[in-house]
């Protein structure tokens, strides 16, 4: 048995109304908080509820949501300046992946003098971190509990994979009541994105017995949530299943690693501003087809989540049912099936392959891949 190290330090709260625990988490830390939220959330019930909870307990809120379409490094630099100027002792990130990763970067840089550009160039900040609380409003983030994040570099227009100081996530709240604001197709794409990173973690060379258990159960729950969203978009069961799947996927990926599909979708998102979840939904079936060749037993084990499997089914036939099950659901959702549907020129995607290959977690793929190999995969999906 290979050595195993488990290092998740965050307090995790998963379930309905867990957002009301915010004051209890923050009580012994600070009375002032820098709240970083997705711009689209400012006037929604999500942010209003959080502000009401904190106002009711006397917390002073410094609000930041000035994202626009600017690169992540620019946003982080401005938010860090605000955190330092206001001497905010705690960071609260609310929203989708972008808001969570920006919040993580601000917590990593907020107490020192380091600049985000230095970090992007490889100089990891060594200062103490600001306590960080993350409140996701979608069902996916492969780095939620790992201290990792992706930022787009304003100087190059490319995405960069970063590792923050160990234990930067002080607490995570996954409340299904905060997950209901997405249209059905967007909610389905978010779930498919979660499924993709969970399958990658299962097939990773970094996987272990804990990640296997967590990720297999996460995928099963994700598929149940997806089927409910497709049939009954308003059913709260989907939010509950999706939230628990998200936690288990985050737990598994904290000790394993995402892979090729995650790298390609982040690289495309940073350079061309195509929503990451939409890219993941296109990439997912092609990724699973590729993994069948290198981890057939892992993919075959997932078949019962996607379709009925006969007791005498061969592993190859079971693995095929996973791919077929995904394609059937994508067809029903009428989600694009090719990258060219996003009006991306193939000749401009070589740099995407180069960016994706540079991500640190690409070292744990089931097989070694060069930039040419990554580009060949992109051409298959194109």
Give me the sign of the Cα torsion angle 212, 214, 215, 217.
positive
CATH architecture classification, 184-381: Up-down Bundle (1.20)
Q: Which residue has the tokens 């997806």?
A: 226
- Give the chain's mean pLDDT: 94
Mean pLDDT of 146-164: 96
Tell me the H-state helices in the chain.
22-26, 45-56, 72-86, 97-109, 116-120, 184-203, 209-231, 236-255, 260-272, 276-294, 296-300, 303-306, 315-333, 350-358, 371-381
Phi, psi of 349 (to 5 degrees): -100, 0
Percent of the chain residues topping a pLDDT of 70: 98
Least confident of 254-258, 305-309, 334-338, 369-373: 334-338
How far is the C-alpha of 103 from the C-alpha of 91, rounded, in Å? 7
CATH domain 11-178 topology: Rossmann fold (3.40.50)
pLDDT in tens, 239-292: 999 999 999 999 999 999 999 999 999 999 999 999 999 999 999 999 999 999
With b for 16 or more beta-carbon neighbours within 10 A and e for fewer, the 24-63 pattern comes to ebbeeebeebbbbbbebbeeeebbebbbeebeeeebeebe
Q: Where are the domains of the chain?
A: 11-178, 184-381
**pLDDT for res 263:** 98
**pLDDT for res 347:** 85
Where does the pLDDT of residue 336 fall: very low under 50, low under 70, confident under 90, or very high at 90 and above?
confident
Tell me: pLDDT of 32 over 60.
yes
**pLDDT for res 166:** 82
Q: Which residue has the tokens 């600070």?
A: 30
Do the first three CATH levels of 11-178 and 184-381 match, i.e. the same topology?
A: no
Q: What is the DSSP string of 308-363?
A: ---TT--HHHHHHHHHHHHHHHHHHHT---SGGGGT--GGG-HHHHHHHHHSGGGG
Tell me: pLDDT of 2 over 60.
no
């Amino acid at each position: 048995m290979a050595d195993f190290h488990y290092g998740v330090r965050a307090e995790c709260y998963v379930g309905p109304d867990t957002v009301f625990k915010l004051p209890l988490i923050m009580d012994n830390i600070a009375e002032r908080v820098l709240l970083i939220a997705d711009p689209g959330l400012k006037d929604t019930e999500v942010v209003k509820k959080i502000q009401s909870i904190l106002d009711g307990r006397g917390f002073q809120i410094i609000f930041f949501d000035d994202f626009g379409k600017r690169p992540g490094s620019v946003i982080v630099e401005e938010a860090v300046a605000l955190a330092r100027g206001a001497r905010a002792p705690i960071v609260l990130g609310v929203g989708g992946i972008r808001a969570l990763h920006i919040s993580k970067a601000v917590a990593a840089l907020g107490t020192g003098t380091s600049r985000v550009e230095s970090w992007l160039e490889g100089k990891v900040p060594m200062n103490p971190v600001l306590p960080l609380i993350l409140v996701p409003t979608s069902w996916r983030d492969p780095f939620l509990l790992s201290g990792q994040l992706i930022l787009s570099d304003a100087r190059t227009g490319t995405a960069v994979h970063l590792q923050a100081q160990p234990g930067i996530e002080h607490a995570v709240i996954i409340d299904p009541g905060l997950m209901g604001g997405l249209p059905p197709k967007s909610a389905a794409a978010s779930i498919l994105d979660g499924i993709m990173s969970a399958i990658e973690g299962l097939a990773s060379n970094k996987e272990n017995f804990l990640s296997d258990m967590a990720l297999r159960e996460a995928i099963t729950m994700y598929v149940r949530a997806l089927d409910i969203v497709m049939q009954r978009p308003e059913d709260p069961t989907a939010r509950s299943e999706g939230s628990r799947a998200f936690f288990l996927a985050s737990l598994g990926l904290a000790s394993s690693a995402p892979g090729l599909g995650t790298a390609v979708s982040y690289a495309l998102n940073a350079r061309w501003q195509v929503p990451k979840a939409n890219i993941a939904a296109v990439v997912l079936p092609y990724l699973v087809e590729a993994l069948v060749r290198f981890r057939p037993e892992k993919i075959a084990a997932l078949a019962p989540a996607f379709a009925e499997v006969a007791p005498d089914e061969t592993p190859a036939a079971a693995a095929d049912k996973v791919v077929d099950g995904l394609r059937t659901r994508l067809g029903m959702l009428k989600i694009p099936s090719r990258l060219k549907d996003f009006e991306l020129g193939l000749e401009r995607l070589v740099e995407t392959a180069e960016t994706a290959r540079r991500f640190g977690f690409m070292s744990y793929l089931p097989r070694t891949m060069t930039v040419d190999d990554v580009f060949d995969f992109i051409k298959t999906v194109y």
